[in-house]
């Protein structure tokens, strides 16, 4: 049965007109899709792609064909983004057999959606913005009919990508600036200046960059105030953030200059190194202080010792050393700490003996049980160890 007969039957079938129309469109689209895919000579495509990988040069493979109930359907197969780019300016996306997400590089990064766009009689498959944003309205109609590879001027595609890029940069630059995503805004406004010759676009980009320069200058001023307060690491990180967020702008050059000055001063560099180390040490120090406040002196003492050994050259290390000295100068505290240390050591030795016994190493287990009795005679574990020595010695 032909497709047309099936459509006529559906239209006359006892269905609502909307349901019949839906089924006709679905059936037609499915048949058209299958017919189109069948016409694609993927062997030729793969050969061309392999050639591109060898030479590193762009390939332009375009094929488009007419289908029933569609005036024209266009499929574009573009260069592989991992290897080639058009004019070294525009990243390309490879369209697979199934149309899904793709990836783009360079100025088109973040635009790597492969989507179907139908502005009317023309259906175009290629590089689009995220469909959820609903901002793409470029109608491209300059397509020559062809059922073979080639037959289309690659410059058409370059111009298409340029227009997509301009639209995207215009929209995203303003959106990113509003959301204070300055890195994205800066990049997109600079791209807009680079590629658009429209007066309106250039004025918008210049205004956006001017606003970013103002924000960058304000942040530089704050960083300078932090330097004057001698919080050098905090200032250095603020400058690094300016450098990252305002790339290509005046603020970046000034931030880099001040970072070099801070790094180049031996005294300041040492202070920054101490501050970095202190960030690692501080949580340990605060935990030790908490132990001391809870009268868990053994844990506090051991934590302070660990900080002094591992983080000596930083404020937390200095404070830990002072607290350690104070504890060691208190005989009563040191007696408590020593008792706790012996208790833990006795427990550890007793557990080792138990493990040896469980593994059938009775002679070695006896040695460790006896060690508990000899070295920690007043401990809770000494009593249990004596019982074990008597029990195992009778074997």
Weakest-pLDDT range from 9-23, 136-150, 208-222, 332-346: 136-150
Per-residue model confidence (pLDDT) at position 158? 53
Burial of 171 by CB count in 10 Å (0-12 exposed, 13-18 middle, 19+ buried)?
A: middle
Can you point out the beta strands (E) in the chain?
61-67, 70-77, 85-86, 90-91, 113-117, 122-128
Whether the predicted pLDDT of 88 surpasses 70: no
Per-residue model confidence (pLDDT) at position 215? 92
Pairing between β-strand 70-77 and β-strand 122-128 as defined by DSSP bridges: parallel
Measured CA to CA, the distance from residue 65 to residue 122 in angstroms comes to 11
Measured CA to CA, the distance from residue 215 to residue 362 in angstroms comes to 75
The CB-based long-range contact list for 264-267 (8 Å cut-off, 24+ gap) reads none
Weakest-pLDDT range from 132-141, 239-248, 314-323: 132-141
Provide mean pLDDT across the span 79-83: 28
pLDDT tens figures, 256-285: 999 999 989 899 999 898 998 899 999 999
Confidence of residue 8 (pLDDT cuts 50, 70, 90): low
Whether the predicted pLDDT of 177 surpasses 50: yes
Weakest-pLDDT range from 64-78, 111-125, 295-309: 64-78
Measured CA to CA, the distance from residue 348 to residue 203 in angstroms comes to 75
Measured CA to CA, the distance from residue 96 to residue 83 in angstroms comes to 16
Which of 69, 37, 86, 62 is CA-nearest to residue 144? 62
Whether the predicted pLDDT of 240 surpasses 50: yes
Confidence of residue 124 (pLDDT cuts 50, 70, 90): very low
Whether the predicted pLDDT of 65 surpasses 60: no
Would you say 190 and 119 are in contact if contact means Cβ atoms under 8 Å apart? no
By residue count, the chain amounts to 395
Per-residue model confidence (pLDDT) at position 259? 92
Per-residue model confidence (pLDDT) at position 247? 81
Interhelix angle 331-358/315-328, nearest 10 degrees: 100
Per-residue model confidence (pLDDT) at position 82? 25
For residue 162, CA distances in Å to 125, 127, 158 come to 17, 12, 6
Per-residue model confidence (pLDDT) at position 172? 82
């Amino acid at each position: 049965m032909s497709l047309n007969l099936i459509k006529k039957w559906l239209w006359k079938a006892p269905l609502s007109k909307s349901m019949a129309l839906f089924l006709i469109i679905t059936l037609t689209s499915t048949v058209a899709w299958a017919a189109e895919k069948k016409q694609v000579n993927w062997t030729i495509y793969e050969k061309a792609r392999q050639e591109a990988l060898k030479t590193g040069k762009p390939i332009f493979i375009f094929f488009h064909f007419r289908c029933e109930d569609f005036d024209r359907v266009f499929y574009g197969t573009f260069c592989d983004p991992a290897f080639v780019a058009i004019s070294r300016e525009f990243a390309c996306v490879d369209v697979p057999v199934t149309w899904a997400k793709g990836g783009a590089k360079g100025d088109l990064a973040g635009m790597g959606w492969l989507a179907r766009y139908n502005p009317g009689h023309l259906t175009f498959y290629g590089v689009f913005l995220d469909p959820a944003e609903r901002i793409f309205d470029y109608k491209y109609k300059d397509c020559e009919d062809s059922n073979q590879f080639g037959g289309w001027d690659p410059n058409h595609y370059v111009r298409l990508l340029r227009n997509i890029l301009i639209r995207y940069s215009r929209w995203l630059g303003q959106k990113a600036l509003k959301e204070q995503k300055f890195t994205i805004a800066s990049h997109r406004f600079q791209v807009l200046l680079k590629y658009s010759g429209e007066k309106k676009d250039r004025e918008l980009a210049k205004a956006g960059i001017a606003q970013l320069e103002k924000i960058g200058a304000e942040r530089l001023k704050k960083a300078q105030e932090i330097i004057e307060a001698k919080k050098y690491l905090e200032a250095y990180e603020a400058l690094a953030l300016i450098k990252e967020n305002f790339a290509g702008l005046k603020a970046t050059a000034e931030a880099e200059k001040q970072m070099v000055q801070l790094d180049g001063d031996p005294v300041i560099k040492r202070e920054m190194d101490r501050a970095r180390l202190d960030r690692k040490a501080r949580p340990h120090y605060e935990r030790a202080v908490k132990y001391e406040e809870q009268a868990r002196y053994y844990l506090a003492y051991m934590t302070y010792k660990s900080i002094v050994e591992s983080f000596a050259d930083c404020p937390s290390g200095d404070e830990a050393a002072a607290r350690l000295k104070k504890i060691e100068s208190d005989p009563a505290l040191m007696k408590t700490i020593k008792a706790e240390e012996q208790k833990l050591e006795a427990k550890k030795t007793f557990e080792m003996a138990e493990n040896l016994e469980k593994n059938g190493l009775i002679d070695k287990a006896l040695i460790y049980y006896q060690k508990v009795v000899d070295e920690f005679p007043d401990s809770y574990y000494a009593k249990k160890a004596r019982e074990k020595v008597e029990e195992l010695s009778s074997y």
